[in-house]
Structure 1
Amino acid sequence: MIHPHIEGLLDRVDSKFSLVTLASYRARQINSYFNQLGEGLGHMIPPQVSSVARKPLSIAFEEIAADKIVKIERLPFDELDELEAEAAAIFGEASENGIALDDESSDSDAE
């Protein structure tokens, strides 16, 4: 029997494909975390729930059921292009008006 139940997991994502993708991606991260434990690297995120399960996929499902792992929606490329154009327009207006948008110029002005 699968624990947590599949119905509860499907409530947290929009499709079975999204659930499989999210769980498999997180299971790979958990597997990498366990494999690098003795090396002292510490760049992987540990499991976010305490679990008796030993398999990374089971741990990933438990994390999703506990709302510790959520799916992040990516913007389509056309929306990214629009946002980039808006940012370029704002940056262009600011530079025409003599407003500096980077931190380096504000640091030198303070001195």
Structure 2
Amino acid sequence: MLEATDSKYSLVIYAAKRARQINAYYSQLGEGLLEYVGPLVDTHVHEKPLSIALREINAGLLTSEAIEAPAQ
């Protein structure tokens, strides 16, 4: 999985951000608002968003882009 990012720390941040998106997707699903993309892999009943995010990263379904710091 470390091939997806530069370091293990960026992998943790990457997975956590995607897990928040998945969690928000499930929260908005009942309201009819679909701002975020749902899980890209098949999920199990009691699977946590972080586990889903890590499986998506491991399957190569997500891409990460470095954000450049604004020039001062």
TM-score when normalising by structure 1: 0.58
1:15 corresponds in structure 2 to: 7
**Aligned pair 1:76/2:69, yes or no?**
yes
Greater relative contact order structure (CA < 8 Å, 6+ sep): 2
Matches within 5 A, 1:11-90: 11-52=3-44, 54-78=47-71
Runs of 4+ with >4 A deviation: none
- For the pair shown, the structure with the greater C-alpha radius of gyration is 1
Alpha-carbon distance in structure 2 between the residues aligned to 1:15 and 1:37: 33
TM-score by length of 2: 0.86
RMSD over aligned Cα atoms: 1.6
Q: Which has the higher helix share?
A: 1
Q: In structure 1, list runs of 5 or more residues that go unmatched.
A: 1-8, 82-111
Once residues 40 and 29 of structure 2 are traced to their aligned partners in structure 1, the CA distance between those partners, rounded to angstroms, is 16
What's the % identity of the aligned pairs?
Answer: 45
- Across the two proteins, how many residue pairs are aligned to each other? 71
Q: Deviations over 1:37-62 (max 9, x none)?
A: 11001111111111336100000000
